[in-house]
Structure 1
Amino acid sequence: MNQSLSVKKRISLVVNPDAVFSQEGLLEHIFGRFFRGLVYAQIWEDPVADMTALQLGSDDDIVCIASGGCNVMSYLCAQPTSISAVDLSPAHVALNRLKLAAARHLPDQASFYDFFGHANRPHNITHFDQYLAPHLDADTLRYWDKASLVGKRKSMFRKGLYRHGLLGRFIGLVHLATRIGRVRFKSLLQAKTLEEQALFFEQQIAPLFETSFVRFLARRRSLLFGLGIPPAQYDKLAADRDGDIVSVLRERTRKLFCDFQIGDNYFAWQAANRSYAPDGKGPVPPYLEAQYFEILRANADRVTVANQSITEMLASQPNGSKSVYVLLDAQDWMNDRQLNELWTEITRTARSGARVLFRTGGVEDILPGRVSAHLLDQWIYDDEASRKATAEDRSAIYGGVHLYRMGR
């Protein structure tokens, strides 16, 4: 079986596990096709909230879903023993491997920040060819050197990485809609207080959710693919407000723009500006902070990145070999059989003191009643840490962040 077919099969088993011929099944199939490419140039989960909840340390062996790599690279700042990152998207695997190579081989922190902070400097392509290409594995180099409709994929780092990928294009469409609505994000980005941010939201953003155009778009499941939301997760989002998806999206947008200081929230900057602060002095993920660059460089070889599912990877690991599992929102995509297969492997490979952190589109924990009691009873739900992480997650898009601790 060639690699392309293997990727298709893996994704189809996750996003369309029941393979039914229905409108739902068709939407899952379309979403799966989108997910083979780059979805997240920046992930939409807050690694600082994760690291605080998990209390990451140097003795941790971490298993996580890679996504765009902001989490993987930021966890590396805690200098864990190892990080095993997996992703079903070959594009995400290529991006993570590129970030690791850049930490090892770019000349200094300034060039590293140019590549992934500014992500739009012409000399990034020269640096790719000179410093990175000689150290990339064949698959990763082939991915970034491959031609696309706008030139070679590596040209993203000259044209603005965060305007690319499924999420980047979706945010671009949102900006088109806000321009039509005469929204001006400049006042938000210059706000000095939370009160000023709340005023911006109430005056410029909230009225958009009352328009028939936005309400029509929000109810089209396929359009929310741009947020990385498959049909099954759409239902979990809508369930929080009795099926009113518009109300859910309004509240989570309010949290994004109003609950955290704009000077501390790089997610709000990406949503409002499609980039981090142009002067390089604004908020960024931990791995882009200058203080961590030498730590990244020294510890990058502790990370492995593989194109496979997390259950598949765990099945190959020894008993009691892992201490931290970060599942992002992947469980929202899973049926009960897949959840039990995953937690069987998590429980088998977990050592004493292990922690599992995940997010859900809805507010409630999805595991009770779905994961077998003989598995889940070996874990303790940390309600306090879960509530705190949910409140502190600056991305604001998820209904809940949940933390379990090994009980045995």
Structure 2
Amino acid sequence: MSLSRLLEPPRALYGLVARADASSLYLWIALSAATVLVLLALLWSQLNALLRFAWHCFIRPIGGATDQKARLEQFYAGQADVYDQTRRGLLRGRNTMLGLCAAHLRVIRAANPTRRLVWIDVGGGTGYNIELMHKEFCPIEEFDHVYLIDLCEPLLEVARARFDKLGFKNVTVLCQDASAFVLPEWKDGVLPRGSVGFVTLSYALSMIPSFFTLLDRIDHVLDPRDGLLGVVDFYSSGKAGSLHERAIGGERKECSWLSRWFWLIWFDFDKVYLSQRREYLEHKFGTIKSYNGRNKFVLPFVVRIPYYIWLGRSRSCDVSRFCHAFEVEGGNYIGMHAAPPTLAVDVRAPNSKGAVVRRRPSKTVLDITPPLSAFHYQLKHPYRLPYYESPVHKEFRTFIYSFTWEDPAEDMRHLDLNHDDTMLVITSAGDNALHYAIAAQPKRIHCVDMNPCQAHLLELKLGAVQALSYDDFFALFGYGKHSSFRQLLDQKIAPFLSSTAYQFWRINSRAFSRSFYLRGYSGWALRLARWVFALSGTSAAVKAMCEADTLVEQDTIWRTRIRPVLLNPVVVALLKNPLFCWNALGVPRAQRAMFLAEGSAYEFIRDTFDPIAGHALLKRGAYHYLLCLLGHYTPESCPEYLTRKGFETLRADDGKVLDAFRLHTDSIVKYVPPASPPFFYLLNFGVRSVLRGLPDGELTRAVVMDHLDWFAQGSSDVDEEITQLFRALASGGKVFWRSAAKQPWYAETFAKHGFQVERISVRQGPHKAIDRVNMYASFWSATKPKSG
């Protein structure tokens, strides 16, 4: 670029100035000077605030203060007016905590709209939380009264000025010791039990010396029916989690030794204490939600500050419904398992007339009252049964399947489902289980998967059905992306999720930022397909095939444009690789060996894909391959739960259809040896098999997908599972499965155990598909003969 070109803008400016009169020039200079002064003032304001913050927090010693009140006032007197300005980046999680609380309060208020609601913000300081709640989450007028309690008068002066400016009429500021707070509405200072509906502690619990007394006091006044406590604060945690911590879930809770000791010592200088507070909080109250985060505000590359967000309720609340779902419907127990349960005892369901016969272990080691799991303190449906995290669960970093491969329409032609049926199904992505619920509304659907992330995904779908509009729901799971997923998660979906599922999606909140279906292990296969189509120049042909209006047109595009690309030697070679089969397609070694024993990899791919193009239109219902080719569904071609009709069916009557779901994070039958004595002697959430917990004759249908293909031929585990299936099925009950083999070896095992086995369909070369997916070589059923 020439020098004259570079000088063009200045020359143009000089020309403008030369043509302007003197008054215009003076005005331009004045405006420029004013702008500079404003910028300098803003810069100085921020710099001044930071300097005052640094002086009072890190340099100026706290001396001469004899009690907590004097110490707080001495510390904050010189920085109260800049407190909010300097803490935005340091005190992370306040917005999230308040958003979560507002979402849960909406659910609570929907059930009891006339009940009086009082909010106490303990240690609320400048009133930042109350203003934020009003502006972002819940108008302050929704509360009957709000009390801000703090011991520091300089901070409270800021709060009073803030509320006067906002015109709040139902907010009262109280300068009191939090551990002995008394509301003006309490007569003679007597604490009325259960009189408060909502309490928050925002970075206050760690600063209150008598925290035992404070939490006991909150527990006394918090409404035991549906009172809510929200906390956000710093914390520190060792690597060895307690039984209680494991029972309520604690993703990313462990701190490194450097972080743990550094922040304990650092905060101790400022009289901020991290030990014991959180432990007593979680012991005193039942956990609803828990999230562990890291703040990068200080020393981001060395030791990030650990902080937590926690929501809970009184342990004296009614948990009978969740106990029944956990112990009776889910077949869980508290104790140890030394051998298959043989002792039959009667366990009566709450408010029921009959008794349910349960099989329980003969030895009970520990009876925990009240329940420790966060499952028992949820507000809504008891979908997700708790599990006690074991090493096998940590092996799953994410979900393998973001969608379900089996064709549920073909299932429904043979399942013969009705309202009285109780099913056991493999969770996978939950698409087929949702299809069964929409089509037949069975009494119970037990979804089982050892990978907790698969249950997290289905739980998100169940929660989103109830919390979102159809458009938002389809954006998430139809198009696979939503720009406001974090906001939807915190402010709408969270009350319908378990604590463990919320933690997972909060950590993976970017899952829907671009394309959800390109995530997970199965996402790698979709990415590979995109790369192949792009490199081969067939992307346009792929789109044309997905928009074809006739089977003839669709089949022609497949055979002339796309088939030569997919059925080439490179792709076939990848499918021969066991690592690629597992990591990208979720195909284990044993299953791969099964289809290779009956033919080559090329033949399996050919027999899978060739019939599809002439069997069902991608544009009008063959949504499995439409998703693979486009990376998303369309409203005209998608799973049943994504249609507007299916969506409305699932959410009708406050989600009554969804009450059928029970999500187990467990194996179907095999016990995994516990890793350490606490796992063995206490809560067997993670190692107890689902079938062993179900009573005789409990199930009427079981859909195990291709699960049995995963076992090596002759495995004793398969023999044990089929034995338990026979016991748990009622007379006339049926098991359905698919296999990559035309004649799977374990079909004979079903017959050996008394089942009547039938092969429903089998692939016959590359000419005819057995369903809209055609991914498996055969489809089977096994029926337990009717007694008598």
Q: Could you tell me the TM-score, scaled by structure 2's length?
A: 0.45
In structure 1, stretches of 5+ residues that fail to align are: 12-32, 147-152
Cα distance change of structure 1 residues 228 and 257 upon mapping to structure 2, 3 Å threshold: farther
TM-score (norm 1): 0.84
8 A contact 1:206–1:250 mirrored in 2:
no
Aligned counterpart, 2:727: 348
Q: Is the CA contact (8 Å cut-off) linking 1:87 and 1:308 kept in structure 2?
A: yes
Correspondence for 2:706: 329
Q: What pairs up with 1:8-407 in 2 under 5 angstroms?
A: 8-9=391-392, 36-77=397-438, 78-106=440-468, 108-146=469-507, 153-183=508-538, 184-208=541-565, 211-225=568-582, 226-241=584-599, 244-262=600-618, 263-277=620-634, 280=635, 282-297=636-651, 298-311=656-669, 312-335=689-712, 336-371=715-750, 373=752, 375=753, 377=754, 379-383=755-759, 385-386=760-761, 391-407=769-785
Give me the identity figure in percent.
Answer: 25
Size of the alignment, in residue pairs? 369
Q: Which amino acid in the other structure matches residue 75 of structure 1? A: Y
Which structure has more relative contact order (CA 8 Å, sep 6+)? It is 1
Once structures 1 and 2 are overlaid, which stretch shifts more, 1-10 or 264-273? 1-10
Amino acid at match of 2:779: V
Rounded Cα–Cα distance in structure 2 between residues aligned with 1:369 and 1:61: 25
Task: Quote how far apart the aligned CAs of 1:393 are.
Answer: 2.5
Structure 1 contact 104–300 (Cα < 8 Å) conserved: no
Query: Separation in 2 of the partners of 1:74 and 1:304?
Result: 15
Contact 2:762–2:777, Cα closer than 8 Å, also in 1? no
CA RMSD, Structure 1 to Structure 2 (Å): 2.3
Query: Structure 2 stretches of 5 or more lacking a match?
Result: 1-242, 252-387, 670-688
1:278-301 per-residue CA deviation (whole Å, 9 max, x = no partner) reads: xx3x21111112112232123112
Cα deviation 1:203-228 (Å, max 9, x = unaligned): 12332356442333232221122111
User: Deviation at 1:101?
Assistant: 1.3
| Contact 2:407/2:772 (8 A) holds in 1 | yes
In 2, are the aligned partners of 1:87 and 1:306 still within 8 Å (CA)? Answer: yes
Partners of 2:781 and 2:632 lie apart in 1 by 30
Check 1:131–1:264 CA distance in 2 against 1; reply closer, same or farther (3 A cut). Answer: same
- Displacement of 1:9 after TM fit? 3.4
Secondary structure at 1:67 match in 2: coil
Query: In terms of Rg, which structure is larger?
Result: 2
State the shift of 1:363 in Å.
Answer: 1.7
Identify the structure with the greater helix proportion: 1
> Matched residues in 2 for 1:49 and 1:215: separation?
28
1:175 and 1:136 map into 2 onto residues whose CA distance is 33
The amino acid of 1:393's aligned partner reads D
Residue 353 of structure 1 aligns to a residue in which SS? strand
Deviates more, 1:248-257 or 1:132-141: 248-257
The amino acid of 2:455's aligned partner reads: V
1:63–1:325 contact (8 Å) kept in structure 2: yes
